[in-house]
Amino acid sequence: MQIVLVGFMGSGKTTIGGLLSQKMSQTFIDTDETITTRIAMSIQEYFDIYGEDTFRQVETQVLAELSEKKGILATGGGVVTNKENRMILKQLPHVVYLKTDPDEFIRRLKADSTNVRPLFLSRSSEEMIDLFHQREAYYREVASHIIDTTEKTPEQIVQEIIKEVGDRN
């Protein structure tokens, strides 16, 4: 089985993906980790040196490769901005959009000192909310399942995904 998690940064893709993979005894793959290994530097460094467009090209290559694998796949928040990526995602049976209220993802991003997100560091909260609104239609376009994560624990979200995907399997 394969479940792909999409959503804006701070929606919980990595956290939920890790828990979901444990609960379902599946491999967990994080596209950002895969990209970091491939480019041999942090995403922030890569952004600074090569820019977002070049990063998105690498992201598309990685998504195409990983879309063939079984397991739980957490994508980067901007993966849906590329039309080719949306075409890949729409071909997959279980793409779960982790929908998060803007106030909630801003709170989560501010509290997260582990994951450095280049776009978050360079923009105000208002700009981040605008960016979310620009991307939201794309998340909905590729999703076969939409799970609202706002004010839910990671465990509640995982249970909801298992119920939703299991009902449609």
Q: Is 11 annotated as belonging to a binding site?
A: yes
Report the 10 Å Cβ neighbour count for 54. 13
Provide the Cα torsion 76, 29, 13, 63; round to 10°: 30
Q: Where are the domains of the chain?
A: 2-163
**In angstroms, rounded to a whole number, what is the distance separating the alpha carbons of residues 92 and 153?**
26
Q: Quick one: pLDDT at residue 113?
A: 62
Instruction: Lowest mean pLDDT of 1-5, 104-108, 164-168, name the range.
Output: 164-168
On whether 10 is known to bind a ligand per the annotation, the reply is yes
Pair of tokens at residue 102: 């803007």
Structure tokens at 28: 């967990």
Is 117 annotated among the ligand-binding residues? yes
Annotated binding residue at 75? Answer: no
pLDDT at residue 139 is higher than 70: yes
Instruction: Tell me if 135 is assigned to a ligand binding site.
Output: yes
Q: Are 47 and 39 in contact (CB under 8 A)?
A: no
The residue whose two tokens read 């598309």 is 60
Closest CA to 95 of 58, 63, 60, 125: 63
27: annotated binding-site residue? no
* Tens digits of residue pLDDT in 62-94: 999 999 999 999 999 999 999 999 999 999 999
At residue 106, the pLDDT reads 79
pLDDT of residue 120: 59
Classify domain 2-163 at the CATH topology level.
Rossmann fold (3.40.50)
E strand spans, 75-138: 95-99
| Burial class for 143, CB neighbours closer than 10 Å (0-12, 13-18, 19+) | buried
In the 8-state DSSP scheme, what is residue 27? -
Which of 43-47, 70-74, 76-80, 158-162 is predicted least confidently? 43-47
pLDDT at 44: 81
Contact 92, 160 (CB under 8 A): no
* 77 annotated as ligand-binding: yes
Scanning the structure block, which residue is given the tokens 């090569």?
A: 50
Mean pLDDT of 142-148: 97
Q: Is 14 annotated as a binding residue?
A: yes
